[in-house]
Amino acid sequence: MTQAVQETKIVSADATALGVFGLSLVTFVAASQKMGWTTGSVYLIPWAIFLGSIAQIWAAVVDFRRNSYFGAIVLGAFGLFWIAVAAVWAIQNGWFGAPPENADLRQFGFACFGYLFFCCFITVAAFEANKVFGAIMALILLLLASLGFQLLGVNKELFGPLAAWAELLISLLGFYASGAIFLNTFFGRPLLPLGKPMGWIKKG
């Protein structure tokens, strides 16, 4: 006698829109400081923790469960990035006591270059996802390079404004991408275009 086997499949909703919105919001707020529209970093920290970090890590966990490789890795990597940035800002603002005399912010610059190296690979995949993601990643490369050189004290007059404009454009494109993903998923059809994959590399 054979018993019927019943399989239960747990379906998770696509959390990409939430993760991209988290990135967009935190870069928008951070860009306001770099552009000179706001000052200081104290009130950047909550947005970095809750939107830049928690929202993206949460979306990454959902994408891991959905076997969405690209979203899981990218959102997870940047969620961790923003919690580290929030920690740097908190140390600078004395949340853990006065910063030690031997604190060297250039180490943050080397971290930016580390992410830059990793994002070179992500950018290739992003253009094979859609053109908006590819453009966002290209701007992130510019932002990370500019921040890295600025933190190392190289030509701050050039790389400071470059970082500011790159971050602002990342946020604006991100808002569009998150809105497009939300509406396209909700209505089950493409309402707002994200651009077709470039088709440079074929998947195996």
pLDDT at 97: 82
pLDDT at 103: 86
Could you give the CA distance from residue 58 to residue 38 in angstroms, rounded to a whole number? 29
- CATH code where residue 25 lies: 1.25.40
Q: Residue range 10-33: average pLDDT?
A: 90
- Asked if the structure places residue 197 within a domain, the reply is no
Return all residues near 12 (Cβ < 8 A) that are at least 6 apart: 62, 65, 66
- Per the CB < 8 A criterion, the answer to whether 30 and 89 are in contact is no
pLDDT in tens, 79-121: 999 999 999 999 999 888 887 788 899 999 999 999 999 999 9
- Per the CB < 8 A criterion, the answer to whether 4 and 155 are in contact is no
Whole-model pTM above 0.85?
Answer: yes
Its domain, for residue 72, covers 16-187
Query: Which two tokens mark 92?
Result: 């600078």
Evaluate if residue 177 carries a pLDDT over 90: yes
Number of domains in the chain: 1
pLDDT at 11: 60
The more confident residue out of 9 and 56 is: 56
- Asked if the structure places residue 6 within a domain, the reply is no
- Asked if the structure places residue 99 within a domain, the reply is yes
**Average model confidence (pLDDT) across the chain:** 92
Question: b/e for 136-149, b at 16 or more Cβ within 10 A?
Answer: bbbbbbbbbbbbbb
CA 181 vs. chain centroid, Å, equals 16
- Asked if the structure places residue 22 within a domain, the reply is yes
- How are the residues of the chain apportioned to helix, strand and coil, as percentages rounded to the nearest 5? 70, 0, 30
How far does the chain reach from its first CA to its final CA, in angstroms? 42
- Asked if the structure places residue 174 within a domain, the reply is yes
- Asked if the structure places residue 43 within a domain, the reply is yes
